[in-house]
Amino acid sequence: MTTRHVGRVRRGRYRLALVGTVFLALLGSAGVAVGAEPAPASERAPDGVWRSDGYGTVLTIDGGVLRPYETTDIGCVPGTPAYREQAPGPDGSARFRARDAPDSYFPITVRRLPGRPDRASLTVEGTLGRRELRRVRTLPAGCLRPAPADPRAVFDVFWQTFRENYAFFAERGVDWAAAREKYRPMVRPDTTDDRLFEILTTMAEPLRDGHTSLRAPALDRFWRVARPGTPELDQAYEDRIRAFVERRDLGGTPLRTYAAGAIGYAELPGRIGYLRINRFVGYTGDQAPFAVEAAELDRALDAIVTAGNASGPDAWHGLIIDVRVNLGGLDDLGRRVAARLTDRAHPAYVKSARDDPHDPTRFTRPQPFRIEPAAGAPRYTGPVAVLTGPATVSAGETFLLALRERPGPTTFVGDNTQGIFSDMFGRTLPNGWTFTLSNERYVSPTGRSFEGVGLPVDFRTPVFTDAEFAADRDSAFDRAVRLLGGRNP
C-alpha cells in the first residue's frame, strides 16, 4: 500500500524529508528571506504587470515592490511581496527579497530582455533555469477582490490548481476529474478544517508523489505521500543507516564528515574511495545563502577529490558514491559534485514546466543543462559505482541524471530511485494553508522521463530491506566493491 505521512508538523532539517529541490514558493506562499527597504524607482526597472509562461503566476512590480498573485481560471490568491534591494542594474535587472518568510531565502532577480520591452525573465539564486515573463495590461479581475475562504472555495482552489499545473496525471494513472466528482460532494459549508484536510489529502493520495504536500499551520498538521515501500525519511532513519554502514561496510571506521554531516568519506581496501552524500542542502544552516552553501561544498570536495586521489600512481582505483539515502536539495549543488568527476563537458538533463491549464501535454520551452569540468580543481575520471534506492529523491535524482551522461565508466547499483524530479511548486489556499505539487519535467538529454518509476540501475540488489538488516547484509555495497575490483574491510 501507499506510504502515507499524515500528522503534526515536524520541525527541523528533515521536516520535508521527501521534498528534494527546496520549497521555492518564491512567487507564492513562502517567499524569500528578510530584505531591505524599497529602493528608489528607475525608468529602466522592470515595472509593470507580468504573467509567467507556466507556473500560473502574475506579478506586479511598482516602486521597488514585487507583488505575486497565484492565478487559476477560478480565481486569484495574493502571495508574499518582495522588496528591491538596490537600484536596478544598467541592464534593467532588479533583485528582490521578501520579509518574514523563513522557509525560503533565495533572492529573486527580474531582468528585462534587451530590445524586447514586453518580455522579461525571472531567476532565483541557487536554482536552475529561468521563468519567462510576458507583459500584460492589467491584473486578472479575480486579483482585485478578496478570495472566498469557505470550505468549498478552498477545495475548488486546491483541485483547480492541480488541474492547471500538475504535470503527471497520466504517468501516475490518476483521473483528476473523477476525483472531483467523488470528493467535492463531501465538502459542505460547515465542513470542519480537520475534515477538509482529510478530504484533500485522501483525494491527492493516489498520486503517490513525494513532492505533493499539504500544510495547515493552525491545525499543526502536515501531509505528504510517497511511493509504496518508502521508509519514513527522518533523522532516526538517517542515523540508523549511517551507523549500519560504518559498522558493517566500513569495518567500524567512522566516516570523515563535512558540510554539517551531509557528506561523509572513507577509504576502502584496494584504493577505493567511498563518498556518501545524504542531501544537497543545509550544509551551513537552514538560512544560509546559496553562495555560502556552495563554498562549503567546495571545501568538502577539495578535501576528498585531491590531486593524489584523482590521478597519479596512488589514485583511486574506483570511487563508490552512495546516495541511497539522499533527501534532495538544490540541483546546482549536485552539478558541482558532477563537475569534479569529469574532464570533458557533457549534457546533464533538460527542464521544462507545464504551460497550458487546459492541455497537460504542453510545456514551456525546454532548457538544457550541462556539466562543465570544475576549473582549477582536481577531477577524477576513473571508474565510479553509484548506489541508489527509493530513498534517493529529487535533487539526488537530478544528480544521477547528470552522472548517467558522464564520459568516464559509471555503473549504477541498487534499486530504482523515488521518481520525483520537479521543483516543488508551492501555492497558498484562501484559508492560509499551503501546498506543493510537481509542475516541472526533467528528462534525459535524449528526452526520456523517469517520473514515477525512478531511475533504473545496471545491477539490481535489495536496498536496506528488513531481510538485509536481519542477515547483516548490504548487497548493493558488496556488489559495488566487487565491480571496482576491491575487497570488503
Confidence (pLDDT) at 44: 63
Smallest CA-to-CA distance from 222 within 440, 430, 19, 2 is with 19
Enter the C-alpha cell of residue 146. Answer: 478578496
Query: 235-483, superfamily in CATH?
Result: 2-enoyl-CoA Hydratase; Chain A, domain 1 (3.90.226.10)
Q: Are strands 367-371 and 325-326 parallel, antiparallel or unpaired?
A: unpaired
Could you tell me the residue ranges of all domains in the chain?
3-21+146-226, 48-144, 235-483
Backbone dihedral region of 198: left (phi > 0), alpha (psi from -120 to 50 degrees) or beta? alpha
Contacts of 265 (CB under 8 A, 6+ apart): 255, 256, 257, 258, 273, 274, 275, 276, 303, 304
Predicted TM-score of the model (pTM): 0.90
C-alpha cell read off for 264: 561523509
CB count in 10 Å sphere of residue 479: 20
Q: pLDDT averaged over consecutive 10-residue blocks of the chain (489 residues)? A: 38 31 38 37 74 97 95 94 88 84 69 91 91 96 94 98 98 98 99 99 97 97 90 91 98 97 97 98 84 96 98 96 96 98 98 96 97 98 98 98 98 98 95 98 97 97 98 98 82
Distance CA 228, CA 447 (A): 26
CA distance 455 to 463: 14
Q: Which of these CATH numbers, 3.40.50.2300, 3.40.1280.10, 3.40.605.10, 3.30.750.44, describes 3-21+146-226?
A: 3.30.750.44
What confidence score (pLDDT) does residue 294 get?
Answer: 96
C-alpha span between 274 and 314 (Å, rounded)? 16
Interhelix angle for 290-304 vs 331-338, to 10°? 30
Q: In what order do the strands lie in the sheet with 3-8?
A: 3-8, 221-226, 213-216, 434-438, 424-428
Name the nearest CA neighbour of 300 among 331, 327, 261: 261
408 phi/psi in degrees, rounded to 5: -75, 165
pLDDT at 488: 64
* Cβ atoms 24, 123 nearer than 8 A: no
Write the CA distances from 247 to 323, 378, 385, integer angstroms.
18, 30, 21
For residue 31, the model assigns a pLDDT of 33
Whole-angstrom distance, CA of residue 78 vs CA of residue 31: 12
If one counts every other C-beta atom within 10 angstroms of the C-beta of residue 400, the result is: 25
Q: Please state which CATH number belongs to domain 48-144.
A: 2.40.128
